[in-house]
Amino acid sequence: MSQEQPQRPQANQFPEATENHASDPGLVLDKNAITIGEALETSALTRAGDKPLDQSDAAAIQAAEMRATGKNQTEPGGLGAMAQSAATRNTRTMPLQKTTLADVVSGAREKLGADKAVTREDAERVIGAELRNKDDMKTTPGGVAGSMAAAATLNQKTKSG
């Protein structure tokens, strides 16, 4: 059984947009666009969802929550706080009792204080947060950063297509 090697995000990972979607309210309100909550929930369905939540996952979830709410801090008792608590607890917990990524991000749409469509800028912030908290500077395949990047790419293609 082979395992995928984590990939470093490339500077050109996202297709170039012809317009600035970050300030485009149509993307935020587009009913067909993938939201941050949906992207987080998607990461629970991948192989990464079964891995114990670590500090890099918590940082990525916190960044995603801040992008969804538009605030510069995580909400007390919110999804980011839950992720940070689980990551800290996992450092002191036996392997079979660790909280997984899926445990935290399942139902993310309901757990987030607000939600919006994923943009390229959102994905870049989440990728940066995950990378800064990984010793090997690689994102987890199918993890939070990967799901956000995929959602941003799909949203850009849908919007421009």
Residue 38 lies in a domain: no
Q: Can you tell me the distance from the alpha carbon of 41 to that of 36, in angstroms, rounded to the nearest whole number?
A: 9
**pLDDT of res. 159:** 80
Q: What is the CA radius of gyration of the chain?
A: 15
pLDDT at 158: 85
pLDDT of residue 49: 96
Q: How far is CA 75 from the centre of its chain?
A: 16
**Is residue 105 included in any domain, yes or no?**
yes
Tokens of 73: 């801090």
Q: What are phi and psi of 100, to 5 degrees?
A: -95, 165
Number of separate domains in the chain: 1
Mean pLDDT by groups of 10 residues along the chain of 161 residues:
50 44 49 95 97 98 97 94 98 96 97 95 98 95 97 91 68
The answer to whether position 10 is within a domain reads no
Q: Is residue 100 a part of any domain in this protein?
A: yes
In the block, tokens 């996952």 appear at: 57
pLDDT value of position 19: 40
How far apart, in whole angstroms, are the C-alpha atoms of residue 29 and residue 45?
Answer: 25
| The pLDDT value given to residue 70 | 95
Note whether residue 61 is domain-resident.
yes
| pLDDT at res. 50 | 97
The answer to whether residue 107 is domain-embedded is yes
Q: What is residue 29's predicted lDDT score, i.e. its pLDDT? A: 55
- Under DSSP, is residue 149 helix (H, G, I), strand (E, B) or coil? helix
